[in-house]
Structure 1
């Protein structure tokens, strides 16, 4: 096999420039989310919860009796993916699946005492996680950021 011409070989890149990407707000949102997600995973680790199982547990504790279809819609995930999450929470005795008397095909999701207690502890840990991440922001900055993110979400649901 012939060796490539040294003039046609691209130079070795010493450092990567993401200057073009940094001109997009979405890129900064994704980079910030990566930081939030990594720290959140550390905060939830003592409870053996992932972001998705934590979110499902909080929704069930806050809305006892909601149906699996309602939980899937609230979490914006496909029902088959939800079954795995619900199975995990049920296996850990954090929730119960109870038949809905008026609809034999539907299940109501109800937190157990252990589920409510773990949820309260995890929510407290997540509050500390956010306090730590946003500690040096100006007063009102977090509220402004949330308001902007909600506006973006609303635009996405307009389509």
Structure 2
């Protein structure tokens, strides 16, 4: 008995379609995120930051005394992966890691003067990035997208 083999003929590049995937909102979200991430990566390069190190720096700046455990939770990262980021920020003199007097196993994270300055400059650049990437969205559309993202993030809970 002969097995039926489908002839595999790859389409030329101009004929590739993701139309079947476009019906899935998750696919569209991922594709949109790829555009945003790529542009943000380029935006943060002059500051020597990646998206994760930028996020950590801003969170530490806006939450003085934040513990590494709390930072890992809010960033939804495994603690060992976060340690690499915290080590890098500390090595660059952007944050300080101080042991808590009440719990010698826990570090309180704080930005340094240099960290605050770099964070503020990077946030200004990130605001320009977002304005550039989202320029075709009206303020109403941005508000709708923001609300939808919050609902998705919260698992549908208000």
**Residue 74 (structure 1) shift:** 0.8
Structure 2 counterpart of 1:80: 80
Q: Indicate the larger mover: 132-141 or 113-122.
A: 132-141
Mapped partners of 2:66, 2:6: distance in 1 = 63
Structure 1 residues 40 and 8: CA distance shift in structure 2, 3 A: closer
**Residue 117 (structure 1) shift:** 0.3
Q: Which runs of 5+ in 1 are unaligned?
A: 1-6
Mapped partners of 2:105, 2:122: distance in 1 = 31
**1:12 is the counterpart of 2:17:** no
Q: Name the TM-score, length of structure 2 as normaliser.
A: 0.91
Q: 3-state SS of the aligned residue for 1:61?
A: helix
Task: Give the 5 Å matches for 1:38-117.
Answer: 38-117=38-117
**Residue 136 (structure 1) shift:** 2.4
- Taking only aligned residues, the RMSD between alpha carbons, in angstroms, comes to 1.7
Q: 3-state SS of the aligned residue for 2:43?
A: helix
Structure 2 counterpart of 1:131: 131
Structure 1 residues 105 and 26: CA distance shift in structure 2, 3 A: same
**Residue 9 (structure 1) shift:** 4.0
Q: Which runs of 5+ in 2 are unaligned?
A: none
Q: Name the TM-score, length of structure 1 as normaliser.
A: 0.90
Structure 1 residues 16 and 106: CA distance shift in structure 2, 3 A: same
Mapped partners of 2:107, 2:121: distance in 1 = 26
Mapped partners of 1:66, 1:28: distance in 2 = 34
Task: Give the 5 Å matches for 1:14-29.
Answer: 14=12, 15-29=15-29
**Residue 17 (structure 1) shift:** 2.1
Spell out, residue by residue over 1:84-141, the C-alpha distance to the aligned partner (whole angstroms, 9 max, x if none): 0000000100001000000010000011000000000000000010111122222321
**Residue 8 (structure 1) shift:** 5.8
Spell out, residue by residue over 1:30-52, the C-alpha distance to the aligned partner (whole angstroms, 9 max, x if none): 00000000110111011010000
Mapped partners of 1:36, 1:118: distance in 2 = 21
